[in-house]
Amino acid sequence: MCRTCIICRKPLNDGIIVYGKGICESCEKRLLIIDEETDFYDFYKNCIKKNLVRLIPRGVNENCRDYQ
Ligand SMILES: [Zn+2]
């Protein structure tokens, strides 16, 4: 089974698994350096929340994708 990053949705070759969800290395690094008051942090939290609360089929997270 191929995991994808829940933030950027790229195939997950490295990085971390949080609660069974993958986050790629570049997104993880980005998280470590961002200010908690930035939009990205909110965006990230929403992504995590959405992904943790429900198992969503691919293609549903429009907001996450639009962010890029
Ligand atoms: Zn990523």
Position 67 pLDDT exceeds 50: no
Enumerate the domain spans of the chain: 16-66
Q: Which residue has the higher pLDDT, 29 or 68?
A: 29
pTM confidence score: 0.47
Going 36 to 55 to 21 to 2, the CA torsion angle's sign is negative
Distance CA 8, CA 65 (A): 7
User: CA 16, 18, 23 angle in degrees (round to 5)?
Assistant: 45
Rounded to the nearest 10°, the torsion over CA 57, 59, 60, 63 is: 140
Query: What is the Å distance from ligand 1's center to 13 Cα?
Result: 10
Q: What is the pLDDT of residue 68?
A: 44
Q: What is the pLDDT of residue 56?
A: 47
Query: What is the Å distance from ligand 1's center to 31 Cα?
Result: 10
Query: What is the Å distance from ligand 1's center to 9 Cα?
Result: 6
Position 61 pLDDT exceeds 70: no
Give 3-45 pLDDT, tens digit per residue. 888 888 888 877 777 667 788 888 888 877 766 667 777 777 7
